[in-house]
Amino acid sequence: SGIWDAYGNMPMSALFSFQALYCYGRKLSSHEGSVAGQKIAMAALYGNGSHTLSLSCDYQGDALYNRMQTIGKERGGQNHINFVGMQSKVYVDALKQLLDMTRKQPTPSDGIWSHSVTMILHEWAVRRCELNHARSLTYVLHSVSSLPSLMQNGIEAKIQTSLQFSSLLCREKSWERAKQLILGLCTICQQRGLRFLRARLLLQLVMIHLECSPQRPVCALLPLLECLSICEADSMDSLHASCLCLLAKVHLQLDNVQRARALLKGSLPTLLQHAPIWFQGEAWLTLAKCHLREARDLLSDSEVSSRNLGCMRLWKTALEQLNQSANLFESMDDALVLREVYYLQAQIYNYLPGHRSQRNAAATKYSKVCKDLLQSHSPMWQNVLESMTLLDMGTNS
């Protein structure tokens, strides 16, 4: 399990952890059992049926599950968010696995259990743009990562904590702070020979560059190529596929549509088998944008007689891919990406004749997410207002 984890294959790591618990559970120490349970729980973030590796066929976490399903309805105050259509299935599954670990392991390693739960809650809060909640959980993360029971993992727990904190900095648009944090962690990983963690950090740095400088995607190429080199040298297939997904995004922003689409089609099978759910959704979204870019070029270059059929085909293909992307991002409650997906869906339905009701439904989802983002008092409020105005102009025409 540890070897698979070192190579970035979390589903296989979870499978062998599952076997270790069920075949040798009584011989494992409390720390070993907690680590195995943690790997099984974190595999829920990868989809592919990994959540079926349940620590128990009869969950005792139903109360937690019900609580998580209605978490938005019972929250008050400034951070109250109740996104349309979001089930939080991924994080609920992971939390249920960790909760059931306490029954399977009567004396779980408190540090590992607390760190895992807090990491999941923190990531969930960042995805939902509940920034005040995420800031509070950041202090908890730094506290539990220093517990004696986590010292067996060395500095890895602290690096994972700091990596998670960088995602919060990005949501707050503190991109320079996030870059400096990631670069410092990369130096530590290089000194200690933590190649997989270094590759993950480089991937995060690429995402920061693409987010803060969408007009200068070439800035992301240096860390991206370095990450690809590490993944190829160490056969980190899932991480390599995730890198190719971001490389395709870079090519798309550079107007190399054909190259972007080829990279995505080549890496999509590995992404769907081994990569995190977020990268699966990002791959479908980028592929849809490739088809939309082709449709735009076709409108400007083709004759009227052939233009309509070609564009219709491209729009429908992009719509299918956006639906795939929406399903994945809805399972993770990623509000910012869903805002973009719903916007594109509404625009495509607006172009297709006879799809007015679907257009209005997508526009309603989009407006709802925008309003909930405003309620979260996150720094992106001005961009939200601008994009809501654009959508209103499009749907009223």
- Token pair 């990369």 is at which residue? 186
pLDDT of residue 153: 59
Structure pTM?
0.81
List the one residue out of 12, 40, 144, 143 whose CA is nearest residue 98.
40
Q: Is residue 22 part of a domain?
A: yes
Total domain count, the chain: 1
C-beta separation of 242 from 232 below 8 A? no
Q: Which amino acid is present at 369?
A: V
Round to whole Å and give the CA distance between 99 and 173.
Answer: 33
In a domain, 15, yes or no: yes
The pLDDT, as a whole number, for residue 48 is 53
| Residue 194 forms part of a structural domain | no
Angle 119-120-121 (CA atoms, 0-180°, nearest 5)? 95
| Max CA pair span of the chain | 73
The Cβ-side half-sphere exposure at 213, using a 13 Å CA radius, reads 15
Q: Indicate whether 334 belongs to any domain.
A: no
CA distance 123 to 160: 12
Q: Exposed, middle or buried, 374 (CB in 10 Å: 0-12/13-18/19+)?
A: middle
**Is residue 348 a part of any domain in this protein?**
no
Measured CA angle at 139 (ends 88, 31), to 5 deg:
75
Per-residue tens of pLDDT for the chain, all 397 residues: 888 877 777 778 888 887 887 777 677 776 777 777 777 777 777 765 444 455 443 333 333 334 334 434 433 333 333 333 335 688 888 888 777 766 665 555 557 777 888 888 999 999 998 888 899 888 888 877 766 555 555 678 788 889 999 999 999 999 999 999 999 999 999 998 889 999 999 999 999 999 998 889 999 999 999 999 999 999 898 899 999 999 999 999 999 999 999 999 999 999 998 889 999 999 999 999 999 999 888 876 555 445 577 888 999 999 999 999 999 999 999 999 999 999 999 999 998 888 899 999 999 999 999 988 887 754 443 444 344 444 444 444 4
35 domain residue, yes or no:
yes
Express the helix, strand and coil content of the chain in percent, nearest 5 each.
80, 0, 20
Yes or no: say if 53 and 100 are a contact pair by the CB < 8 Å rule. no
Per-residue confidence (pLDDT) for residue 289, from 0 to 100: 96
User: What pLDDT was estimated at residue 81?
Assistant: 35
Would you say residue 34 lies in a domain?
Answer: yes
In a domain, 396, yes or no: no
* Token pair in block for residue 368: 């709802």
Structural domain containing residue 45: 1-108
